[in-house]
Amino acid sequence: MKKNNLFAHFHQRKWLKILVEMKITILLVLLISFGASASIYSQNQRVSMQFEDATILEVLNEIKTQTGLRFIFNEDKIEGLQAIDLDVGNITVEEVLSEVFEETDLECKFQDDVIMIVERAPEPVIQDQQQQKEIKGTVIDDKGLPLPGVSVVIKGSNTGVSTDFDGNFLLELPDGEITLVFSFIGMEPQEVLVTNQTHLNITLTVSSEQLAEVVVT
């Protein structure tokens, strides 16, 4: 009998815990829904007004009078705006404010019954991805033998590659005219302007200093 009572007590506590958790969940859902509904309601309230050469502050005060909505803003930003003419009838608060701030760097954010007037976020600048072109080629010496390990670098940068065992190279270049610098120990460096070429055949010659050393030796 005692075991049955303990089991019943445990079972009851378990269900009470579940009910409490369900109530909390329902309350949170209602609060979130209420907040979203309040924001939508504030945007969709309708107003009518007619102004000539009115300040923005006068317009905001009229909206507040007709709807009870509150505004948060930097007064210096608002006072610096030009006076406007406004003649609207039975349109939403959101539509009125869009018209009022259309030619300014300010925008409105709605939160429940509060409207925050803030600086308009700059539109993201979409930059075109720089086009790339591919250049390949072969580097040989003055005897026609391939030169492995030749440095092939875009002039003025650290971007480059080295030729493979057969003297071949492959390099991606930004679009436009590019100068490539070919250099190898004991050889005269060579600069080549690349415009529309896709393949280069480069011949490096022995440097004059190297020849002088050979003669002296």
Where in 29-83 does DSSP place strands (E)?
46-54, 70-72
pLDDT score at 136: 94
Where in 3-77 does DSSP place strands (E)?
46-54, 70-72
pLDDT score at 10: 45
pLDDT score at 24: 53
Residue ranges in the chain whose pLDDT is less than 50: 1-3, 6-11, 29-38, 125-128, 212-217
Rounded Cα–Cα distance for residues 72 and 109 (Å): 10
Q: Where are the chain's structural domains?
A: 43-119, 132-216
pLDDT score at 217: 45
Give the H or E element holding residue 86: strand 84-92
DSSP β-ladder status, 46-54 and 84-92: antiparallel
pLDDT score at 135: 93
Tell me which fold the domain 43-119 belongs to: Phage tail protein beta-alpha-beta fold (3.55.50)
Give the H or E element holding residue 27: helix 2-44
Tell me which fold the domain 132-216 belongs to: Immunoglobulin-like (2.60.40)
pLDDT score at 190: 95
CA proximity to 75, closest of 55, 95, 93:
55
State the distance between the two ends of the chain, measured CA to CA, in whole angstroms.
114
pLDDT score at 23: 55
Rounded Cα–Cα distance for residues 62 and 48 (Å): 9
In this structure, are residues 151 and 182 in contact, taking their beta carbons and an 8 Å threshold? yes
